[in-house]
Amino acid sequence: MKLLATFIMRGYSQAALAAAVAALLSLLMPLLGPISAAAVGLVTLRNGIRQGLLVSALATLGASVLAALALGSPWPALGILAVFWLPVWILAAVLRASRSLAMTVQFAAMLGLALVLVFHALVGDPAAYWLQLLEPLRQTLVADGLVEADASQALFGELANWMTGSFAAALVFQLLAGLLIARWWQATLYNPGGFGEEFRDLRLHRAVGIAILVLMALLGVVQGAGLIADVLLVLGIPLVLQGLAVAHGVRRITGAGVGWMVGLYLLLVLFMAQALFLMACVGLVDLWADIRARAARHAKKLG
C-alpha cells in the first residue's frame, strides 16, 4: 500500500490513473472503491483543495475513456465522480481545514442524512419504491423455487423497509473508509505513526449520542417510523468508528497483543451485523463513560 501511495504522490497524472483504474475495477471488486477515493483524498490532504479537484477532473476524464472502451459508454465515470471522488474530496478538504477527524466523521454522517432526507422528499414512499425495484428479483427467486411466494412477499417487504437507510449508511462507510485510507497513507509517507494516534483519539460530540437516544425512543412509538430507522442506520456509522477507536485505544493502553484486534476484525467479517451493533453500542457508551480514560487510570494504578 505504501508503494501505491508513493506512486500517487509522484504527480497528478499518476494519482488520476490510480483513481480511475481502481474505480473501474471496483465495478467487479467493490472493495477497490475506497482505494480509488483514497487517491483523491491523499492528494487533497497533502497538496490542497485545488490539486485534489484537478485529480478528480483528470480521473473522470481518464475513467470516461476507459469506460467507453471497456463498457461502450463513458457515463459510469460521471457516476463515480458524483458518488466517490467529489464527496471524498469534500471530506478531505474539511479534514485538512479543521484538522479534526471527529468533526469530519460527523460531517460525513450529515451528508448521509441529507441523502436520506432528499430521497424521502423526492420518492415519498421509499419502501414502495424499493419493493417495485426488487420485484423482478423476487419473481425470479419464486420461479426458480428458491423461495415460496408467500414468504417472499414478507421477506422483500421487510427488506424494502431497510434499503434506504442501508444504502446511505453503506455509502457513508465507503466514503469514510476512503478518507481513512488516505489519512493513513499521508501519515505513512510523511508522519509515521500519526494516523494510529489520531484514530485512537477519535471522540464524537455527545450531541450525536443524544440524537440517537431520542430517535431510538421515538422508533417504538411513532407510526411509520421508516425515516427514523434510516437516520439511525446512518448515525450508527460514526458510532461504529468510535467503538473501533475505543478498542484500539484500550489495546494500546493495556499493552494487549495484536491478536485481540485480529479477532475483533474477524468477528466483524464473520458476524458483521452483530459485531457492528456491538461496536456502535461501545461507541455510544464511551460518549459518557470515557472508556479509554478509565482504562488509562486503571493501567496507571496497576503500574
Indicate the domain borders of the chain. Answer: 233-303
pLDDT score for 303:
61
pLDDT score for 31:
83
Q: SS3 for 173?
A: helix
pLDDT score for 226:
83
**Under a CB-based contact definition with an 8 Å cutoff, are residues 115 and 171 in contact?**
yes
Distance CA 124, CA 118 (A): 10
pLDDT score for 128:
87
pLDDT class of 52 with cuts at 50, 70, 90 = very high
**pLDDT tens digit sequence for 171-230:** 999 999 999 999 999 999 999 989 999 999 999 999 999 999 999 888 877 766 688 999
Distance CA 29, CA 231 (A): 28
Residue, of 155 and 248, whose pLDDT is higher: 248
Mean pLDDT for all residues in the chain: 90
Q: What is the mean pLDDT of residues 63-85?
A: 85
pLDDT at 141 over 90: no
Label residue 103 exposed, middle or buried (CB < 10 Å: 0-12, 13-18, 19+): middle
Q: What is the mean pLDDT of residues 52-79?
A: 88
pLDDT at 73 over 90: no
Q: Whole-structure pTM over 0.75, yes or no?
A: yes
pLDDT score for 156:
82
Q: Which residue has the cell 508503494?
A: 3
pLDDT score for 224:
60
Distance CA 4, CA 143 (A): 47
Contacts of 11 (CB under 8 A, 6+ apart): none
% residues pLDDT > 70 (the chain)? 99
Give strand ranges (E) for the chain: none
pLDDT at 30 over 80: yes
